[in-house]
């Protein structure tokens, strides 16, 4: 390219300048996309100062009543055979205590549902509120 003091261009010369207008257009589109999507990546919400638990307090273990229902319908309270009337009487006494015990109910695999439903009804009538079913995982002997 020869030096032309008058600033005139020859028609035969090619334009060797970089056209940056398409580059600027693409960059502006990307900038707008980032401005729109940036709030989606920031966590929304507010900070809460949660109370800290006092781990020095001694936790009392709850009293546990172990009930077992055999396949023939017999009910056992801590390995003692009871009738339904005796069971209702004992559970009613336990329900009146200031701190109720937790009932752990076990049943044989062959126990009919009517026997378990009867025990559940007695527990409900007595006013006891905490009941858990004890099961054995499969494959464990």
The whole-number pLDDT of residue 109 equals 83
The whole-number pLDDT of residue 31 equals 95
Given a cut of 70, the residues of the chain with pLDDT beneath it are 1-13, 15, 44-46, 48-51, 53-62, 137-141
Query: Which residue ranges form the domains of the chain, and what is each CATH number?
Result: 64-133 (3.30.420.270)
Q: Measured between alpha carbons, how far is 37 from 137 in angstroms, rounded to an integer?
A: 49
Q: Measured between alpha carbons, how far is 20 from 30 in angstroms, rounded to an integer?
A: 15
The whole-number pLDDT of residue 138 equals 62
Other C-beta atoms within 10 Å of 20: how many?
9
């Amino acid at each position: 390219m020869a030096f032309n003091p008058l600033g005139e261009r020859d028609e035969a010369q090619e334009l060797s300048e970089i056209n940056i207008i398409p580059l600027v257009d693409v960059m502006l589109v990307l900038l707008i996309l980032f401005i729109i999507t940036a709030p989606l990546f920031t966590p929304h919400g507010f900070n809460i100062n949660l109370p800290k638990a006092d781990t020095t307090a001694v936790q009392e273990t709850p009293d546990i009543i172990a009930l077992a229902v055999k396949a023939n319908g017999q009910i056992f309270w801590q390995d003692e055979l009871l009738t339904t009337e005796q069971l209702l009487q004992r559970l009613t006494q336990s329900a009146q205590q200031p701190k109720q015990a937790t009932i752990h109910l076990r049943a044989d695999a062959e126990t009919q549902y009517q026997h378990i439903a009867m025990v559940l009804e007695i527990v409900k009538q007595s006013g006891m509120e905490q009941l858990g079913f004890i099961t054995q995982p499969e494959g464990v002997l």
